[in-house]
Chain A
Amino acid sequence: MNMDSSDTADAGARRARVMVTKIGLDGHDRGSRLVAAFLRDAGMEVIYTAPWQTVDSVITQALQEDVDVIGISSLATDHLLVPKLMAAMKEQGLDDIAVVVGGIVPPEDEAMLKEVGVARVYQPGDSQADIVDGIRALVTARQAAQGLSEGD
């Protein structure tokens, strides 16, 4: 199902719910705070967590908060845990929640993340507008898909 037209799909949908988090060991959070702030400014509901989350704690909170998108911020190689997150989500049937990664991600790792199902990888210098639009499109697609399945 391809949903490109955000205008129509947005009608009547609830506000986008996006989790902004860091998994692993690093605690540099300028990026995650900035992204959280401008997603909020763009009208989204942002669930912001402490750094140092585990795969399990991310999944638990994503479920509790019923998020549409999980955003993982990574500066110091913590993105290497993301394949484990993707596998665990798949196993628990949560792969309708989109996962995006942003931060310092070397090119070879970007390809690896895409392969395991990460929807988007954002790099330093990507604009706010691109990030907001990209995440909004993911939310729209998910909510539309949910709407259809609930309607059936």
Chain B
Amino acid sequence: MSDDAKTQWQHDYAAQMPADDARHNRSGIEVKPIYSAADRGLAADGLGYPGQPPYTRGIYPSMHRGRPWSQRQLIGLATPIEYNARMREIVDAGATALSLIPCNSVYRGFDIDEVDPVLLGTCGTTVNTSDDMQICLDGVPIERTSVALNDPSPFTLLALLLVEAKRRGNGWETITGTSNQSDYISHYVANHMFFRLALDGARRVFCDHVAFTNQHVPRWNPISVVGQHMQQAGATPAEAMGFTLSTAIQYVDDLIASGLDPDDFLPRFTFFFDISMSFFEEIAKLRAGRRIWARVTRERFGAKDPRSWRFKFHAQTSGVDLTRQQPLNNIARTAIQAMAGIFGGLQSLHTDAFDEVLSTPTRGAAEVAVATQNILREEAHLDDVIDPLGGSHYVESLTDDMEAKIVQVMETVENAGGMFKAVSDGLVQRMIGDSALAYQQRVESGEQTIVGVNAYQSQIDDTVPVRPLERPDPDLMQQQIDALARFKQERSEQQVRAALDALARSTGDAGANVFAEVVAATEAGVTHGEICACLRREFGMGQPLIAA
């Protein structure tokens, strides 16, 4: 059995790695792609091999040795023109993956003429219309660029992207990327900024969006289930993983109920996790999550396609672990967190800028964050060996223990009626609030050391060499507001009204696809804010539970 598994892995590995150059360390010792008990002449460790269920050692046969993790930094800048200038620099430098972070006004479901101008473009790009998206992506070959959109329900950015593709004559089957922030449950619980529509409405639009992309944009990843928000809000690593898996189970149940087959959509599920300073705990969390998901998809949902069992995830280093005191220390923290994520087997990584705790990251600090990943990969060679900590007595025991703890959290949610019910009732929010407070007390009491905050204060110069923050140019922003007014004047009022009517009607018609009407509306010139306003009227506004 074990021999068969090894033979199978060797075959799969060779298939992925037709030219695997031998690698040697500085002492001249060959570094093999994977190590197991057999390499030391010990009895089989029973861990299995990467690319084979339950994927404890990784979801692909060659993991980072075959394909390094992707570096996905978040990018969002002021106006579409400024965003496009930055994007083209990145595309010209060879990037094949882009991200688009919209302005907070967009997150809240408003157009830029509906909010206080002082808040516009400070955290992301102001995209409201098909004209804006055209400018954002000008010169970007969208048919061969993977685009990660931070795009909560009702997914207007994806609609605008599809309309732009159509305008250029690019078939939707060529469009690749991910709807980040599609996980409305996580927004209800934690990152409320993204929570635009009341729970039931968000649930409906979510299912329609998956059904639509499944049919019309087959290479799009419509779902990213997010543990990051809940852990940043205070959930323990085990809770964050448990809640995320419970959320994913809720979505699978809902999509099956809407008539889809698990193997239709599970291969396109992705996840997104936070990586805290608790180094080994994070590694074990990610390894355990992978194992549980393989079991759930196969046993609970009966998925047959191996791609349905693979726990693909993006991870981000932890912003709340960064300190304002001695801020250069944050570079060390970010590197350690990134290492935990890499050893945990992530597929893509965002490293935080060290000045994130002082302000919206400056460009110089963002460059250090990218360099950190390059150092880990090309100086420290962390991509040479698959699951290098696998087989460690500590890591394997901790992986088992974390798995048991995570399963316990999932059972608590299940017993409360599933994730949708558990968050509606506030159970999950209470658990996270309690954990946040408990951790804060550990810090306040000094039980948990935070260097520079509750220990080792002021031994290092506190000042930090960052350039001052760049805020959007008010003149450019005014031009953007004027452009929106012109856009509204020049479109066909009749088409806009018809599209909004159709959108409103679709919400009451179980046979209609609400997201299809969102796409049609953007094509008719309806703006992001108008679409959100219409759906807020029909479904109710997204308002989190208020209890503190």
Contacts and interface: CB of A to CB of B under 8 A. Distances in A.
Interface of A: 20, 24-30, 32-34, 36-38, 46, 48-52, 76-78, 80-81, 84, 104, 106-108, 123-125, 127-129
B359 interface: yes
A30 B546 CA distance: 12
10 contacts: A25-B110, A28-B191, A28-B193, A30-B320, A34-B440, A38-B440, A51-B544, A78-B119, A107-B358, A127-B454
A148 to B, nearest CB: 33
Interface stretch (B50-58, B101-109, B477-485): B101-109
Contacts of A28: 191-193, 232
A37 B195 CA distance: 23
Given A30-B436, A104-B358, 6 more contacts: A27-B194, A27-B195, A30-B234, A34-B437, A38-B437, A80-B119
A48 B59 CA distance: 44
Given A76-B104, A76-B122, A106-B469, A46 B233 contact: no
Consensus secondary structure, chain B interface? loop
Contact of A128 (B232, B433, B440, B450): B440
A50 B544 contact: yes
A76 B123 contact: yes
Nearest to B450: A125
A124 B195 contact: no
B119 A123 contact: no
Interface residues of B, number: 46
Contacts of A27: 191-195, 544
A96 to B, nearest CB: 26
A89 to B, nearest CB: 17
Nearest to A128: B444
Given A30-B232, A106-B359, A25 B444 contact: no
Contacts of A48: 546-548
B446 to A, nearest CB: 11
A42 to B, nearest CB: 12
Nearest to A83: B118
B192 A81 contact: no
A37 B437 contact: yes
B383 to A, nearest CB: 33
Residue from B104, B105, B233, B547 whose CB has the most chain A CB atoms within 10 Å: B104
A76 B548 contact: no
Contacts of A26: 104, 193
Contact of A34 (B116, B232, B436, B453): B436
B121 to A, nearest CB: 10
A77 B360 contact: yes
B546 A50 contact: yes
Given A34-B440, A50-B543, A104-B357, A25 B433 contact: no
Contacts of A20: 548
B314 interface: no
B125 interface: no
A7 B201 CA distance: 53
Interface in B353-379: 356-360
Given A104-B357, A106-B359, A29 B192 contact: yes
